[in-house]
Structure 1
């Protein structure tokens, strides 16, 4: 079997011998992410993502290698003969894995490992270096991660890579950023930072050229699960809830966007911003969040920052009503029954939606149907 020659060895061998310029690191990160997306599109889980398993060919093009643990996503979880080699990059749900409580390896696990690989690439060291398996496991399962200490790194590099890495290594798999989102963020970083003037700049630099400082392990902030944020809202702990919703919305969670929009609309813990609230409602509505479909439609009415569009209003109000939102059914029934908002009267349509709302125990719908002498 013939393989392509990897001129620089593995990515770990490369960063141990040389510094890699920042524009080189972000391009390498993007290329690895692209390769991982391709594997996932083929339903393949690599199962061992780390710098040692990335070979660097001519032109510093990374190649994902070592598929000894790889499998199809639908296949049984690979039996790792020696977890010591992979623990430092392992997702917390896999660290909890046991005979009694089995957690299969998923695409979300691989995203976590990719986040650890990015940290390793950026800071040129194995995560939790020289720690034994038990210490790593205790540290990660307690919600702790490696620390960021950037030294003189460019500010846009610091901000963007911190956000990307943290989004990948969240403890709750449900809030880890999708790999496609990470890819988009890396593309944006490459476009912003890898400017034409850097094309001729060297990628490989003498060791210690970047002057990254030494540091100790420390805890970074973790995002509480979205369900806890919603529970905090119900307990009137609005600041806790708001911080949770903002953090999850930044990770592109549609439900969190709805809640962030709700807080901005009502002015809970923050100054009212109904224009921004309307935008967030629309984003969540387009991701099929039913309450957001209803709220977005309402946000188009008597909201000066937003131009009213009857067709768009009807589109989203109808979506919410057809998705069984009682308030949307009642409002749509009234619009058609009375010809509100410049809409043509359609009594049959109006009564249809009022009856649906009444079946969902909407009190105003029941009352209106009673006035009309119609049984609900």
Structure 2
């Protein structure tokens, strides 16, 4: 890569490593790891040597020689003077003790490595760099065994320090999910950059990740669309739905609409990989996502979650709760929600008291927004619009 790996970059271009750049790099890396996790891939070797910087100062995660699917059997990776700096305690300490049962590498191990890498980005030096190379393996094991915490220099933002501390907690279960780390970094990016947007981690992004097959040395790129381009691909008759799905999953960490679209794909079984999941399980996952994004204000999610509640699909039926979400969507101008509410009040039933006047009001508003079924119902019931 043109500007070298991350360690080489911050060594050669230290003057460029202000907090805006540090946060941008960290967010790019964590979004990439989140995307890999969505694809059920664990990298297994997160360290600055495996993060490359191109001529446009965009980040690539590389060296997938040790990567595995979540449920694949993993081989033990022996600690060396580089990877030991980022290795989780549960791996580092058990791998050195033949009497203890070996701990498989999992998401929580990867999070610890991310925390160590974030410390490196903040301090612009490798973790445990104060130890001599000749003693680094034993020295780090001793430190980890004593629950040593990497020290911080003055001027490190408290939010950044807290993020690292939680990611590097000795107890794996207490470490945060990668999505939470991404959200925290995104919040930091807005504090440090007046140009920050919801697409910070992927603006002009087309090949942030590079993968290396276990049996190949050839590097291939994984293309990710912006949310806007993914929407266009999704809506296009000949659009690449698989690429749109991958892109929505990637952006779903920080973009509410992208997260909603992930739920949409689960619900409608849009891509082959989702066809392997039972319908009940797909709908259950979709409803959970609809609820999460509805509560964050997305009108399309409010509509769909309301309909699921009304029909009892993927969740226990609750017409009053359904109306609450449908009204939230209608209040944001969603004509489909207006139509469903209008029809419910006009006809009554399902626990809803008939109110033709209120029903006519919602149907008229939907018709004025050119909702075809609302127009037909207005004409049928002599509602002038």
* TM-score interval (norm. to shorter): 0.5 to 0.7
What does residue 300 of structure 2 align with? Answer: 291
Equivalent residue in structure 2 for 1:85, among 14, 18, 31: 14
| Separation (CA, whole Å) in 1 of partners of 2:338 and 2:224 | 36
2: distance between equivalents of 1:314 and 1:140? Answer: 49
- Structure 1 CA distance, aligned partners of 2:357 and 2:288? 33
Q: CA RMSD in A?
A: 4.3
For residues 354-365 of structure 1, the aligned pairs below 5 Å read: 354-365=363-374
SS at match of 1:190: coil
Measure the CA separation in 2 of the matches of 1:286 and 1:181: 27
Contact 2:111 2:167 survives alignment (8 Å): no
Mean Cα deviation higher: 351-360 or 143-152: 143-152
Shift in Å, 1:280:
0.5
Cα gap change, 1:117/1:145 in structure 2, threshold over 3 Å: closer, same or farther? closer
Other-structure match for 1:305: 314
- The partner residue of 1:140 within 57, 72, 84 is 57
Structure 2 CA distance for partners of 1:260 and 1:310, relative to 1, 3 Å: same
Superposed, which structure 2 residues align to 1:16-95 within 5 Å? 84-87=13-16, 89=17
Offset at residue 364 of structure 1 (A): 1.5
Which residue of structure 2 aligns with residue 253 of structure 1? Answer: 255
CA contact (8 A) 1:246 1:257 kept: yes
Residue 171 of structure 2 is matched in structure 1 by 192
Please report how far the alpha carbon of residue 185 of structure 1 lies from its aligned counterpart in structure 2 after TM superposition: 8.9
After superposition, give the CA deviation of every residue in 1:59-80 in whole Å (9 maximum; x if it has no partner): xxxxxxxxxxxxxxxxxxxxxx
Query: Residue 353 of structure 1 corresponds to which residue in structure 2?
Result: 362
Say whether residues 1:278 and 2:249 are aligned partners.
Answer: no
CA contact (8 A) 2:47 2:113 kept: no
- The Cα offsets for residues 55-114 of structure 1, whole Å up to 9 and x where unpaired, read as xxxxxxxxxxxxxxxxxxxxxxxxxxxx93234x47xxxxxxxxxxxxxx85xx442244
1:160 aligned residue (96, 111, 119): 111
- Say yes or no: does 1:231 pair with 2:232: yes
Structure 1 residue ranges without an equivalent (≥5): 1-15, 17-49, 53-82, 91-104, 129-135, 170-178, 196-215
Post-superposition shift, 1:350?
0.9
TM-aligned CA deviation for residue 256 of structure 1 = 1.4
Cα contact 1:139–1:145 (8 A) shared by 2:
no
- Secondary structure of residue in 2 paired with 1:342: coil
Instruction: Check 1:307–1:183 CA distance in 2 against 1; reply closer, same or farther (3 A cut).
Output: farther
Deviations 1:296-350 (A, max 9, x none): 1111233453101222101100000111100000000111111132101122211
Query: Structure 1 pair 342/224, CA: closer, same or farther in 2 (3 Å)?
Result: same
For residues 367 and 117 of structure 1, the distance between their equivalents in structure 2, rounded to whole angstroms, comes to: 51
> Which residue is equivalent to 1:335?
344
In structure 2, what is the Cα distance between the partners aligned to 1:222 and 1:361? Answer: 37
Q: Give how far 1:367 is off.
A: 1.6
Tell me the alpha carbon deviations over residues 170-223 of structure 1, each in whole angstroms, 9 at most, x when there is no partner: xxxxxxxxx97996696366263399xxxxxxxxxxxxxxxxxxxx9x888564
Greater CA deviation, 297-306 or 315-324? 297-306
Map of 1:241 onto structure 2: 244
* CA separation of 1:265 and 1:145: change in aligned 2, threshold 3 A: closer
Q: Which runs of 5 or more structure 2 residues have no equivalent in the other structure?
A: 1-6, 34-45, 67-76, 79-86, 92-104, 122-157, 175-216
Partner of 1:227: helix, strand, or coil? helix
Per the alignment, residue 111 of structure 1 pairs with: 23
Q: State how far apart, in whole Å, the 2-side matches of 1:349 and 1:343 are.
A: 12
Shift, 1:232, TM fit: 2.1
> What TM-score, normalized to structure 1?
0.52
